[in-house]
Structure 1
């Protein structure tokens, strides 16, 4: 990790609010496909732990709907990707509610195996009082989730950068305008139009270059 990246992560970690009493603090790391959400969330979690905070790491990728639901509007449908990808009922019941204000702190970290398409019901885990939930995923500022976060981050990276990253990872087209990419790019454009995540996020981070991210907007 570069010195600049560590500097930004430390600054972000310092901005994460303290818990209220025994409640947990819920932090979202949002951004388009291949903007670097998982890596950023993992690194932020590590920095928070180095500051003595207990961190629960959850990825919304472990809360997908089953394939029959995800693709019911067609495999190339942007609307399907935007509306049908994730099981928000399970995310709220298993993670956000128990780790929210007055919650039990008894959570489950996964609801679905993307490889096998199996629905999961793992044993509950218990977070200690004052824990920090760091959750990464797509669409985390959508209307039904926007009020769930005590602190949120949006990684701002243009499609011209994320599409080649996604191609390297998944074998998709590196051209964001290619017809096969419209499921993903089009879904994000629907998200932007409906929810303006750049404005809803507490913190906006330009993550175009992994080595040198920078804070675009910080809270007052």
Structure 2
């Protein structure tokens, strides 16, 4: 069984092997509580000294409640379709750091900068491999966990934030899990990923497939 360090080393090899004539845009996708932020931070740390890193999260682009159109009917639809300002992510980061981009970017919160040619943009979050965003990623990492593990980790992570176990279970049952099911059915993110990782045991992740 592979160690976490071995899997990270393989991922760094994929990233660092990409041309340095423009920034690399990388997505770390997966269900809620899959470990996306931790993986993205570890990749950023591992790249230190190899290439400059720009870190962002889809959570930086959550719309204020009053700005969400909220698709009618199923709450999960609103969570998937309306929760994030994809246009701001695309215009501020993904296009400027992409082919032909000027490398002058604007992150959430109006932070600006100019990326070095060999920079790596690492973005973590749910729904990053959806159809609207796929053309903008050079590398897509998909972390797979089961729904049971998703809920178990979610309870540990979110019970204080949402007011206890019952409230957290309700949120997962009505938004996070159905939203993720809808995303999988519509977008098949694992099929779009460069690397698929079984992340059920974070200490021993397993690379299930690679397209490079």
Kept after mapping to 2: 8 A contact 1:25/1:130: yes
Q: Confirm or deny that 1:153 pairs with 2:129.
A: no
Match of 1:114 in 2: none
1:148 to partner: Cα distance: 0.9
Using the TM superposition, name which of 191-200 and 101-110 deviates more.
Answer: 101-110
SS at match of 1:134: strand
Q: Alignment length, in residue pairs? A: 207
Q: Once superposed, what is the RMSD of the aligned Cα atoms?
A: 2.4
SS at match of 2:117: coil
Match of 1:185 in 2: 177
Question: For residues 14 and 101 of structure 1, what CA distance do their matches in structure 2 show?
Answer: 21
1:88 to partner: Cα distance: 0.6
Runs of 4+ in 1 over 3 A off after TM superposition: 17-22, 69-76, 172-180
TM-score (norm 1): 0.86
Question: For residues 172 and 140 of structure 2, what CA distance do their matches in structure 1 show?
Answer: 30
1:177 to partner: Cα distance: 7.8
Match of 1:55 in 2: 53
Query: Would the alpha carbon gap of residues 74 and 168 (structure 1) be closer, same or farther in structure 2, given more than 3 Å must change?
Result: farther
Query: Would the alpha carbon gap of residues 146 and 180 (structure 1) be closer, same or farther in structure 2, given more than 3 Å must change?
Result: closer
Kept after mapping to 2: 8 A contact 1:8/1:213: yes
Match of 1:84 in 2: 82
Q: Which runs of 5+ in 2 are unaligned?
A: none
Q: Confirm or deny that 1:128 pairs with 2:116.
A: yes
TM-score (norm 2): 0.89
1:219 to partner: Cα distance: 2.3
Q: Which runs of 5+ in 1 are unaligned?
A: 111-120
Question: For residues 209 and 66 of structure 1, what CA distance do their matches in structure 2 show?
Answer: 34
